[in-house]
Amino acid sequence: MSFLHMNYYERRAKGGYGLLIVENAYVKYPEGSNGTTQLRIDADNYIPRLYKLCETIHQYGTKIAIQLNHAGASAMESRIGIQPVSASATPNKAGGAIPRALTVEEIYSIADDHATAAKRAQTIGFDAIEIHAGHSYLISQFLSPLTFVFVITNSISFEK
């Protein structure tokens, strides 16, 4: 959360916005990132600056929400330093990198990362949380018939 981010959102709150939805913040490093300036909410050391943002926005009577996101196959290997992950080994965009299909355990882990980030956002003072499931990011990769290929394995428990 740079001072440029802070200034951007504060100017909108001053202008009378009733609700600001802060751009997507990733929940897992590094594979959840989609860019070099994307916000992070994957660790406690990001709490102070995000808290300051919420306090600043609230002083104008504006509510504030944050989007939680995992880039999945939209991540660029050149930026994150590892092969992107996804619902399958199918690129989510024409010409995109071939991602590695997540294991069942990794899927549960990413769900836990979202839950931890949501709790962090609540503690920070956000008024609402949006789970980002669009724009070809990880959750939408599980929702799309183009990128989701379900393979039944013995490790899947449907009771969970």
Residues labelled as active-site residues? 137
Assess contact for 72 and 87: CB atoms under 8 A: yes
Residue (of 89, 97, 78, 90) closest to 30 by Cα position? 78
State the angle between helix axes of 104-124 and 47-58 in degrees (0 to 180), rounded to the nearest 10. 50
Residue 97 is given by DSSP the state P
Exposed, middle or buried, 38 (CB in 10 Å: 0-12/13-18/19+)? middle
Between CA 84 and CA 5 the distance in angstroms is 27
Q: With b meaning 16 or more CB within 10 Å and e meaning fewer, what string describes 87-115?
A: bbebbbeeebbebbbbeeeebeebeebbe
